[in-house]
Amino acid sequence: MRGKLHWPVLVLAATIVPSCCLALQAGGDAASRAATLELAAKLIGAHDLSGAETALQKLLSQSKDDPLALNLLGFIRMQQQEPVRAEELFRRAAKLGPHLAGPHVNLALLFGAARAEDAIVELSEALKLSPGHEQARLLLREIATKAAAGYVRSGDPDRALALMLRAREAAPDDPDLLVDTALAAMEKGLYADGVKFTLDALRIRPDFPRATYALARAYMGDSKLPLAEEQMRKYLAMKPDDASAQYGLGLMLVAEQKVDEARPAFEKSLALDPQQTESLFQLGEISVQEGKREQAAEEYGKVLTRDPRHAGALTGLGMLAFRDGKLDDAESKLAQAVALAPSYYKAHYYYSLTLKKLGKAEEAEREFKISTDLQKRDKPTARLAPDRP
């Protein structure tokens, strides 16, 4: 499971080692040293940084090169908002205690998503030293996914994928990281890679709803619709009350031209979540295909009641008006649709037909060209939610 780390837990887990290991290191009585380190860690957990530092300084006065004491002191400096000094102490602790994973984990915690690449380097080293280090794995997932999402939002999916691939190298058997890597690959349109990574995740954790959903999305993007449907149905067997997934199944069935099966999926989505506006819109689209124009107009109207700026519903009503010969009404609604959703090819297409009927040949030709260019790039997978919990 993905989760956030809380620093007192991390300190206690990452820095304290058994007294049998302490006995192998130079400086002071092993039992006394272990007790002092344990006390300092507990004081840090209780937010008594001053008391913890007093205890640690006692140890460091006896041995200035004590890696465990330096690591804990570095954590105190991090909490005191002294990142430069904290980094120096963690790096010194790592050098003096080459067998310790803790300083590397704490360096990663210090760097966070703002320095994700550096953090992943440190966590890779921590996991080499301690492959089962759960805090390191949790932190790796948290930092990598947060930073990758930021890169995607800023329009840099290449960097997002590169980061996730590095994180995956650090923990190749982590199914959560494999799914997150798949999602990053799909952001770049690499759906075959998305399939591979999610299948790897499911081999490690067969009953993994999030991976199953991601696999359905990857198959859909890779135009393998029957496989996509199979995985979405498998996901819904585990999560039957997921309204968005019911909507996703409906989309897949529409793409497979299984309209009779798609309608119940959209209706179930609405029953689970009456605010699922997109499912209501898709019901309008199905009604058009079934020749139920009055029902379609009613469904589109309900969508616009909830969302007056819904370009799909405006396009649907504009298309119906065009077919009824109500060209002025069609022009008005379709003009709104293309303004609200410039990349929606269907709106441009019907707008071009309407303009042509109105004798506006030059504008009609422009809209037709736009619609043709956009249709080549349209993929229904873009309308699926990218991830599930």
Q: pLDDT, tens digit, for every residue of 367-378?
A: 999 998 887 665
Tens digits of per-residue pLDDT, 22-35? 433 444 477 888 88
Alpha-carbon distance 318 to 297, whole Å?
A: 10
Q: Give the position of tokens 């441009």.
A: 348
State the pLDDT confidence band at 385, using cuts at 50, 70 and 90.
Answer: low
CB-based contacts of 49: which residues, under 8 Å, 6+ apart? Answer: 43, 76, 79, 80
Is 241 part of a structural domain of the chain? Answer: no
Q: What's the pLDDT at 34? A: 86
Q: What's the pLDDT at 388? A: 67
Is 244 part of a structural domain of the chain? Answer: no
Average pLDDT over residues 277-291: 95
Q: How many separate domains does the chain show?
A: 2
Q: What's the pLDDT at 2? A: 42
- Best CA proximity match to 323, nearest among 350, 345, 300, 341: 350
Give the chain's mean pLDDT: 90
Q: What's the pLDDT at 6? A: 44
Portion of the chain with pLDDT greater than 70, in percent: 89
Contacts 24+ apart (CB under 8 A), 215-220: 215/182, 216/248, 216/252, 217/186, 217/248, 217/381, 217/384, 217/386, 218/182, 218/186, 218/191, 218/192, 218/194, 219/191, 219/195, 220/251, 220/252, 220/255, 220/380, 220/381, 220/384
Q: What's the pLDDT at 210? A: 97
| Amino acid making up residue 146 | K
Is 293 part of a structural domain of the chain? Answer: no
Q: What's the pLDDT at 16? A: 45
Alpha-carbon distance 379 to 251, whole Å?
A: 11
Q: Is the pLDDT of residue 165 over 80?
A: yes
Domain boundary among 102, 122, 152: 152
Tens digits of per-residue pLDDT, 110-123? 999 999 999 999 99
Q: What's the pLDDT at 335? A: 96
Is 158 part of a structural domain of the chain? Answer: no
Q: Is the pLDDT of residue 366 over 60?
A: yes
Find the domain containing 77 and state its range. 1-152
State the pLDDT confidence band at 10, using cuts at 50, 70 and 90.
Answer: very low
Domain boundary among 152, 179, 203: 152
Region of 207 (left: φ > 0; alpha: ψ -120 to 50; beta: rest) is beta
Is 258 part of a structural domain of the chain? Answer: no
Q: Is the pTM of this model over 0.85?
A: no
Is 365 part of a structural domain of the chain? Answer: yes
Is 222 part of a structural domain of the chain? Answer: no
The residue that leads in pLDDT, 282 or 63, is: 282
Domain boundary among 104, 133, 152: 152
Tell me, what CATH number does 364's domain have?
Answer: 1.25.40.10
State the pLDDT confidence band at 383, using cuts at 50, 70 and 90.
Answer: low
